């Protein structure tokens, strides 16, 4: 809720002054009450109130009405869910072991680092968020959180998350997390987002790093397996966000963000969505082919991949000027289910296989 502006001090004092003027004695009347010996002399060195410039009296500062949930919203909780899931997958698949308690703290640190990136992104993008229907209710454009507070909050969480991961895990993983925050905030938010239609392609790397960070938290390094997990998210990002950009094209155009549909047109965007989908689906099957995922994941990745291609083909065949954009909306919604389905299956099968191996 946006706090009401405090009543200026000047107006309050002016009201009091007016009341005293209204009570001033009329000419010819005694200036003091009956029984008083004499009127009180003016001994103060201050000028009469009427001579004070009321414009110099500053209003009281506004009191922040932000609640804890508003600061939590700055962290982009839905994005954090994906970060946690993919980082846990990277950690579970990595060779070696890590103390369970330290593993939990490491995951929390990675999640907080992702949330810090979200807060800093909202701070920088507040000017465009307030003009988009999808984002105008976020904490900063809605007035619930001051921009400076969001900036300080994001910087503080960035430092805490990196330092925590370095202390409980290793400094390679911590450095990787710091680079991810820098890449998302500086390279993507401040650099690419408003300057190139390939913003999502390049900037999507930031969202694809968490499984590699989780892997590094266990091993202190990265490997081809962790890179495959990165590639799945990296290739998934353009079809996912370009589908959104198709049916939010007017909003992006209004705020001057050069999303692909606004720059290259709808037809080119539809073709590129389908092209990326054709590459994504076989790459998503690689964990099974390479042997670090089991047959359950292999089957799920094939079925989900076929459905993803079906939706992408629907977008490809969508008519020019389609106002409803139903195929694009369906692909956008299914793409979220697709990625979560892949990583949930991967994590569940890895966990069950590990438990069976421990019992045997």
| C-beta separation of 146 from 64 below 8 A | yes
- pLDDT at 143 (0 to 100): 92
| CATH code 1.10.300.10 for 68-222 | no
- Helix boundaries (H) for the chain: 9-23, 68-74, 77-93, 100-124, 126-129, 147-168, 171-182, 199-208, 210-219, 224-247, 249-255, 260-264, 266-289, 295-316, 326-359
- pLDDT at 51 (0 to 100): 46
| C-beta separation of 203 from 187 below 8 A | yes
**Cα 305 to Cα 229: distance, rounded to the nearest angstrom:** 15
Angle at 273 between CA 269 and CA 277, to 5 degrees: 170
- pLDDT at 33 (0 to 100): 45
- pLDDT at 64 (0 to 100): 62
pLDDT in tens for each of the 360 residues of the chain? Answer: 444 444 443 344 344 434 433 444 444 444 444 444 444 444 444 445 444 444 444 454 455 678 999 999 999 999 999 999 999 999 999 998 899 999 999 999 999 999 999 999 999 999 999 999 889 999 999 999 999 999 999 999 999 999 999 999 999 999 999 999 999 999 999 999 999 999 999 999 999 999 999 999 999 999 999 999 999 999 999 999 999 999 998 899 889 999 999 999 999 999 999 999 999 999 999 999 999 999 999 999 999 999 999 999 999 999 887 888 999 999 999 999 999 999 999 999 999 988 887 787
3-state secondary structure of 4: coil
DSSP assignments along 304-359, one per residue: HHHHHHHHHHHHHTPPTT-SS-HHHHHHHHHHHHHHHHHHHHHHHHHHHHHHHHHH
- pLDDT at 334 (0 to 100): 98
**Could you state, in order of their start, the residue ranges of all structural domains in the chain?**
68-222, 224-360
Long-range pairs for 55-59 at CB < 8 Å and ≥24 separation?
55/10, 57/8, 57/9, 57/10, 57/13, 58/9, 59/5, 59/6, 59/7, 59/8, 59/9
**Cα 218 to Cα 203: distance, rounded to the nearest angstrom:** 26
**Cα 360 to Cα 356: distance, rounded to the nearest angstrom:** 6
Nearest of 211, 214, 219 to residue 95 by alpha carbon: 219
């Amino acid at each position: 809720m946006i706090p009401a502006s405090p009543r200026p001090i000047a107006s309050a004092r002016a009201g009091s002054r007016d009341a005293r003027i209204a009570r001033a004695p009329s000419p010819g009347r005694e200036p003091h009450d009956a029984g008083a010996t004499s009127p009180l002399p003016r001994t103060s060195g201050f000028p009469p109130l009427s001579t004070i410039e009321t414009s110099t009296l500053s209003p009281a500062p506004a009191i922040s009405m932000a609640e804890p949930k508003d600061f939590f919203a700055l962290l982009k909780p839905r994005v954090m869910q994906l970060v946690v899931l993919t980082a846990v997958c990277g950690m579970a698949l990595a060779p070696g072991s890590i103390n369970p308690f330290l593993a939990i703290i490491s995951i929390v640190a990675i999640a907080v680092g992702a949330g810090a990136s979200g807060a800093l992104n909202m701070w920088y993008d507040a000017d465009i968020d307030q003009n988009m229907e999808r984002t105008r209710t976020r904490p900063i454009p809605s007035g619930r959180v001051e921009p400076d507070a969001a900036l300080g909050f994001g910087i503080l969480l960035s430092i805490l998350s990196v330092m925590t991961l370095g202390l409980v895990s290793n400094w390679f993983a911590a450095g990787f997390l710091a680079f991810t925050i820098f890449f998302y905030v500086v390279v993507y938010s401040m650099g690419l987002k408003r300057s190139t239609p390939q913003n999502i392609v390049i900037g999507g790397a930031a969202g694809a790093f968490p499984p590699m960070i989780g892997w590094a938290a266990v091993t202190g390094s990265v490997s081809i397996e962790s890179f495959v997990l990165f590639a799945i998210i990296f290739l998934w990002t353009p079809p996912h966000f370009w589908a959104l950009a198709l049916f939010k094209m007017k909003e992006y155009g209004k705020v001057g963000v050069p999303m692909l549909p606004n720059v290259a047109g709808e037809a080119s965007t539809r073709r590129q969505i389908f092209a990326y989908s054709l590459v994504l689906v076989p790459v998503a099957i690689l964990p099974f082919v390479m042997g670090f995922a089991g047959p359950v994941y292999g089957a799920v990745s094939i079925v989900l991949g076929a459905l993803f291609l079906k939706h992408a083909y629907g977008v490809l065949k969508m008519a020019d000027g389609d106002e409803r954009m139903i195929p694009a909306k369906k692909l956008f919604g299914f793409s979220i289910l697709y990625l979560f389905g892949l990583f949930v299956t991967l994590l569940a099968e890895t966990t069950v296989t590990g438990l069976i191996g421990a019992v045997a």
